[in-house]
């Protein structure tokens, strides 16, 4: 495996320190329990905890189990266990609090918040029922390369479907460009209306989508800084726009970090069982060895060496 081309230099630390709030800010670690955590999640955890610890932030744990067809309690338990084993302790919604339900940020518990957010957008005239399947969309816009998303052409906005025809809802986006300054990648400009079109917020089965859940949660849970892999960079513009429609005028700051890739250049996924943290643990790896290995593979250090979770801040502080 190798990191993608632009790795984070050690000097990033000084730059980050200048651009993050001085203290008292909040970020989150937000895995989806659709499989076991793998080295890619570990790279994300290193960035989330390392940057928060180095620059006065706190970490909230959110389990993103919006996809009711793919999430399993077994994976949720496993990710809590893996975090404890690694030594990454959230400051809010700690693993213990999560288990007992005292403070638990879990998307399947947040249905009321999503309903309220949707109702607000409906009152603002932004929402319409959508009966289009992916195949319907592709029929209109033509095939898109594997892994790319088609831009929704607005079929159902124009057709004005009966709300009882489906539970699926889309939110209409204005044709504006969104600019944001990624803490690592620099100035970005995206045009969500041209890139993805109106955003699906609830599907025909009544499931909330990732794009909607994450925006509502980042707003409600007062997340100031979003630290995640660069595979989600394309989602950021639409999330800023959705947040604005929900009343969030000042979006979070964003940092998108490089992903680990397989030797063939594919991003790691939960299907790569050989890189699941529990397999590696069962094979005898220590937590510190894995953290050091992940830090090296994503370019934070030149050569792997054991790093304790308590010391990941040193990877970012100058
Ligand atoms: N739940 C997403 C994932 O596991 C992360 C979403 C985000 O950080 O915005 O990939």
For residue 134, the CA-to-ligand 1 centroid distance in Å is 22
**76 token code pair:** 């949720």
| Among 75, 232, 235, residue to substitute to test ligand 1 (most atoms within 8 Å of Cβ) | 232
**Cα gap 158→87, rounded to integer Å:** 52
pLDDT band of residue 3 (cuts 50, 70, 90) is very low
| pLDDT greater than 60 at residue 273 | no
**109 token code pair:** 């518990």
Summarised one tens digit per residue, pLDDT across range 17-52 is: 889 998 999 999 999 999 999 999 999 999 999 999
Name the architecture of domain 2-316: 3-Layer(aba) Sandwich (3.40)
What phi and psi, each to the nearest 5 degrees, are found at residue 178?
-110, 130
Summarised one tens digit per residue, pLDDT across range 148-207 is: 899 999 999 999 999 999 999 999 999 999 999 999 999 999 999 999 999 999 999 999
| Ligand 1 surroundings by CB, under 6 angstroms | 30-32, 64, 214, 228, 232
Residues 6+ apart with CB under 8 A from 158: none
Express as a percent the part of the chain with pLDDT over 70.
Answer: 91
Give per-residue burial for 239-252: e unless 16+ CB within 10 Å, then b: bbbbbbbbebeebb
Give the helix ranges, DSSP H, for the chain. Answer: 12-19, 39-54, 73-86, 95-100, 111-123, 134-141, 155-159, 192-195, 210-220, 233-245, 277-282, 287-297
**Cα gap 266→286, rounded to integer Å:** 26
For residue 132, the CA-to-ligand 1 centroid distance in Å is 25
| pLDDT greater than 60 at residue 294 | yes
| Among 214, 215, 257, 271, residue to substitute to test ligand 1 (most atoms within 8 Å of Cβ) | 214
For residue 31, the CA-to-ligand 1 centroid distance in Å is 6
For residue 158, the CA-to-ligand 1 centroid distance in Å is 32
Q: 3-class SS at 183?
A: coil
Express as a percent the part of the chain with pLDDT over 90.
Answer: 84
Q: 3-class SS at 4?
A: coil
| pLDDT greater than 70 at residue 228 | yes
Least confident interval from 51-55, 87-91, 230-234, 259-263: 259-263
For residue 44, the CA-to-ligand 1 centroid distance in Å is 10
What is the pTM (predicted TM-score) of this model?
A: 0.93
């Amino acid at each position: 495996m190798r990191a993608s081309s632009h790795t984070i230099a050690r000097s990033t630390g000084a730059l980050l320190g200048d651009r993050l709030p001085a203290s008292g800010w909040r970020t989150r670690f937000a895995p989806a329990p659709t499989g076991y955590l793998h080295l890619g999640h570990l790279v994300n955890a290193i960035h989330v905890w390392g940057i928060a610890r180095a620059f006065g932030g706190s970490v909230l744990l959110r389990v993103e189990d919006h996809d009711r067809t793919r999430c399993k309690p077994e994976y949720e338990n496993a990710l809590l266990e893996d975090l404890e084993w690694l030594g990454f302790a959230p400051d809010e919604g700690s693993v213990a609090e999560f288990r007992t339900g005292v403070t638990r940020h879990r998307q399947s518990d947040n249905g009321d918040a999503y309903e309220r957010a949707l109702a607000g957008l409906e009152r603002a005239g932004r929402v319409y029922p959508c009966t289009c399947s992916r195949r319907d969309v592709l029929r209109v816009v033509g095939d898109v390369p594997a892994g790319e998303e088609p831009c929704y052409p607005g079929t159902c906005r124009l057709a004005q479907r009966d709300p009882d025809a489906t539970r699926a809802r889309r939110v209409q986006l204005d044709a504006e460009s969104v600019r944001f300054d990624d803490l690592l990648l620099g100035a970005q400009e995206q045009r969500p209306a041209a890139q993805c079109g109106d955003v699906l917020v609830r599907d025909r089965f009544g499931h909330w989508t990732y794009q909607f859940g994450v925006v509502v949660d980042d707003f409600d849970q007062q997340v100031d800084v979003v630290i995640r892999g660069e595979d989600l960079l394309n989602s950021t513009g639409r999330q800023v726009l959705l947040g604005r429609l929900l009343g969030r005028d000042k979006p979070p700051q964003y940092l998108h970090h490089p992903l680990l890739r397989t030797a063939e250049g594919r991003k790691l996924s939960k299907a790569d069982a050989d890189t699941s943290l529990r397999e590696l643990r069962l094979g005898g790896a220590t937590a510190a060895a894995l953290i050091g290995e992940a830090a090296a593979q994503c370019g934070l250090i030149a050569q792997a060496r054991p790093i304790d979770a308590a010391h990941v801040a040193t990877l970012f502080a100058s």
